[in-house]
A = this chain, B = another copy of it.
Amino acid sequence: MIEHPSQPRGRKNEPEAMRRRVLDVAAELFHSRGYHPTSMHDITREARVTSGALHHHFPTKKMLGLAVIQERVANAVEETWINPINSAHAASDGILAVFRQVIAQLEKRREVKGCPLNNLAMELSLSDPEFRTSIEAVFERWRASIACRIRSDQPTGGLKSLDADRFATFVVASYSGAMALAKASQDAGPLKTCAEQLADLFAGLRRGAPRGRRFRVDDPRGTPGRATRPARRKQV
């Protein structure tokens, strides 16, 4: 029974590794069960971490949640959407490729767990302004990346007639909604269908259909040029 003097048990003192393990487990559990149904105890158990250690790295569950959003969910969006889009031949190709890739992964798994960002957005947006802000930032980065890629295509002929910002919002919404339907039906079908609809749309656009402002939400003669972002309401 030789004791390592100040470390009686299998204690590693590898803070980064432990932090990473906790974040991984938390991200996974928040994704598959949701934030509220996941207890701190679940996380300590799965990550094989004591409560003390967990609270050392993340003083409250909320802080852990924010870290998951900023360090895991944001990364997932980066890897799933932003990088593929940027390295694709064209914006439209990239978007469709992402759909295809996501669908392929879905069909490997036995459960459709949905989009991590969207899941947390639904559960947490209203409960806490900090959560909402973090989530919104990820959504915005996602949207902006798509918009940017579309714009970078336009000089060379792709999707010329498109308002990049507005269309990016539409793509993100379609994907999120399709994923929501997929989750509710536990079937990748809705994602496929939406991908096809977007593909049709791209095809139509490529054939150069001129797009004008024929529809205004607010009133018949609204100012066409404005995109989604501007009008921000102050949060309560």
CB-nearest residue of chain B to A168? B193
**Which residue, A211, A228, A235, has most C-beta atoms of chain B within 10 A?**
A228
Q: A123-B34, A199-B214 are in contact. Are A170 and B184 (CB under 8 A)?
A: no
- The answer to whether B184 and A169 have CB atoms under 8 Å apart is no
Contacts of A209 in B (CB 8 A): 204, 207, 209
Size of the chain A interface, CB-CB below 8 angstroms: 79
- Are A170 and B199 within 8 A (Cβ)? no
Asked whether any CB of chain B lies closer than 8 Å to the CB of A190, the reply is yes
A197 is an interface residue with CB less than 8 A from chain B: yes
Judge whether A45 is part of the interface by a CB distance below 8 angstroms: no
- Contact between B204 and A217, CB atoms less than 8 A apart: no
Segment of A10-18, A79-87, A131-139, A149-157 in the binding face? A131-139
Q: A118 to B122, Cβ gap below 8 A? A: yes
Residue A125, interface by CB 8 Å: yes
Query: Nearest B residue to A224 by beta-carbon distance?
Result: B196
Q: How many copies does the complex hold?
A: 4
Per-residue CB contact flags for chain A residues 215-234 toward chain B (1 = under 8 Å, else 0) read 11110000000011111110
Q: Which of A1-9, A20-28, A108-116 has 4 or more CB atoms under 8 Å from chain B?
A: A108-116
A121 → chain B closest CB, angstroms: 5
CA distance A76 to B209 in the complex (A): 37
B interface footprint on A31-42 (CB within 8 Å = 1, 0 otherwise): 011101100000
Q: Bound state CA distance, A197 and B202, in angstroms?
A: 13
A64 within 8 A of B: no
Q: How far is the CB of A139 from chain B (nearest CB, A)?
A: 5
B173 touching A181, Cβ below 8 Å: yes
Asked whether B236 lies within 8 Å of A166 as measured between CB atoms, the reply is no
Specify which chain B residues have a CB less than 8 angstroms from the CB of A136 in the assembled complex. Answer: 184-185
A176: B residues at CB distance < 8 A: 173, 176-177, 180-181
Closest 4 A/B residue pairs (Cβ): A199-B215, A177-B177, A173-B177, A176-B177
